[in-house]
């Protein structure tokens, strides 16, 4: 017959070379478990649906003898009523784990640990916005393990009904997110695999005509400061919108009139030197120095309303800010700027082999190219008399 356990007998119970269970004669089904490490804990044993079951109750001394007897008695009463307390505990643990592995929690980890560390600011902000606006409202509280291929297809196809290109971007962001989860063993496989591209894409080739360039230049005067200046510098530099919108004074060598865009702020992964032309420098130089940013603060996320205002003033709707880069590049070709130099102005790299052996900085060539670009733009916004033919070298 099992001896009734006491506080003293529990305290003096010695660890053995193997795990040992000591039954409590004072409470049916209650056992004190001693481990070779000296750890002591409580368990309640019973049968449910014909099977033996063990329910852990906690460690000693955090759970005292009196507490262990009360917990065991409660568990056995539940068993008598047809409830399996160990099964309920397992389900509660699974539910808790599902709560820790929600799409929202893991998406935020993905943004912090992957997107923000391994992509440019403009890129991770785009990913973050996509998750907050499109993914989390639909799936945020769901367990990552519950997301199926059908869920992904339904989400991107619903977006594709009105915003087909965005649907492609959402699918791409989800693909990276789920691959990241798989790599950390939160998932066995990605539910994006096998989901078709929701919309076909063709390379964009929109370039503003001379009439549109003139309308653009005039319309920038109607924009609130500093957006008119930002848009003009976009065309005069051929730079990306985020590169100009987040310009910092520290990036400029004013004496040499050089703008060095650091590697962290451009896609090429290396510092990009732009010796801008005189008109671009004039616009930048008159900006008030109220912060580290040329345009007061980082302006990357502030264009939606301003762009609509610009479209209205231009009476042109079918164009994007990025089309200004293509327009600038085309004007460089019109001005007969050598192709490699024109590509460098846009931040495009030379082919790998040439990049390895050609380490010339091309500063003078770039400066001449920017002057040519400004001359071509000036010929559009201030056209010469019909009797005067523009001269291009």
Domains in the chain: boundaries: 7-95, 103-183, 210-381
pLDDT on residue 267: 76
Give, in order, the Cα–Cα distances in Å from 277 to each of 7, 217, 232, 330, 368: 88, 17, 12, 17, 8
Mean pLDDT by 10 residues, the chain (393 residues): 84 86 88 90 90 89 89 90 85 64 90 81 82 92 90 93 90 92 85 88 84 96 94 96 92 91 81 94 94 88 86 91 95 94 87 59 92 96 72 57
CATH 1.10.443.10 describes domain 210-381: yes
CATH class for the domain made up of 103-183: mainly alpha
pLDDT on residue 359: 57
Rounded to two decimals, what is the model's pTM? 0.59
Pair 181, 106: CB distance under 8 Å:
yes
Alpha-carbon distance of 378 to 47, in angstroms, equals: 90
pLDDT on residue 391: 57
The topology under which CATH files domain 7-95 is: Double Stranded RNA Binding Domain (3.30.160)
Q: Is 163 helix (H, G, I), strand (E, B) or coil?
A: coil
> Is there a shared CATH topology between the 7-95 domain and the 210-381 domain?
no
The token duo for 7 is 């506080």
């Amino acid at each position: 017959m099992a001896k009734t356990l006491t506080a003293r007998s529990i305290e003096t119970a010695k660890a053995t070379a193997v795990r040992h269970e000591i039954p409590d004669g004072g409470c049916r089904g209650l056992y004190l478990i001693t481990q070779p490490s000296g750890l002591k804990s409580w368990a309640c044993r019973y049968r449910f649906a014909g099977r033996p079951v063990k329910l852990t109750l906690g460690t000693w001394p955090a759970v005292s003898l009196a507490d262990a007897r009360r917990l065991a008695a409660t568990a056995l009463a539940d068993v008598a009523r047809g409830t399996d307390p160990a099964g309920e505990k397992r389900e509660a643990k699974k539910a808790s784990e599902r709560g820790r592995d929600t799409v929202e929690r893991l998406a935020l980890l993905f943004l912090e640990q992957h997107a923000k560390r391994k992509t440019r600011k403009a890129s991770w902000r785009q990913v973050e916005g996509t998750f907050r606006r499109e993914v989390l409202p639909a799936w945020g509280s769901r367990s990552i393990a519950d997301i199926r291929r059908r869920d992904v297809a339904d989400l991107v196809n619903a977006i594709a009904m009105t915003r087909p290109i965005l649907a492609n971007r959402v699918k791409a962001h989800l693909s990276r997110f789920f691959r990241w989860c798989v790599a950390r063993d939160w998932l066995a496989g990605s539910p994006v695999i096998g989901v078709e591209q929701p919309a076909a894409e063709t390379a964009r080739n929109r370039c503003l005509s001379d009439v549109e360039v003139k309308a653009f230049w005039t319309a920038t005067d109607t924009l609130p400061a500093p957006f008119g200046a930002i848009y003009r510098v976009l065309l005069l530099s051929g730079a990306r919108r985020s590169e100009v919108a987040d310009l910092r004074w520290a990036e400029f060598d004013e004496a040499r009139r050089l703008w060095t865009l650091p590697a962290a702020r451009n896609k090429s992964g290396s510092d990009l030197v732009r010796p801008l032309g005189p008109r671009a420098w004039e616009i930048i130089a008159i900006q008030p120095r109220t912060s580290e940013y040329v345009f007061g603060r980082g302006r990357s996320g502030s264009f939606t309303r301003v762009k609509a205002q610009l479209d209205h003033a231009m009476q042109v709707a079918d164009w994007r800010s990025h089309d200004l880069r293509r327009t600038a590049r085309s004007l460089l070709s019109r001005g007969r700027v050598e192709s490699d130099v024109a590509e460098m102005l846009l931040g495009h790299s030379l082919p790998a082999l040439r990049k390895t052996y050609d380490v010339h900085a091309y500063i003078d060539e770039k400066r001449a190219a920017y002057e040519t670009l400004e001359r071509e733009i000036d010929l559009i916004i201030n056209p010469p008399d019909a009797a005067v033919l523009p001269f291009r070298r």
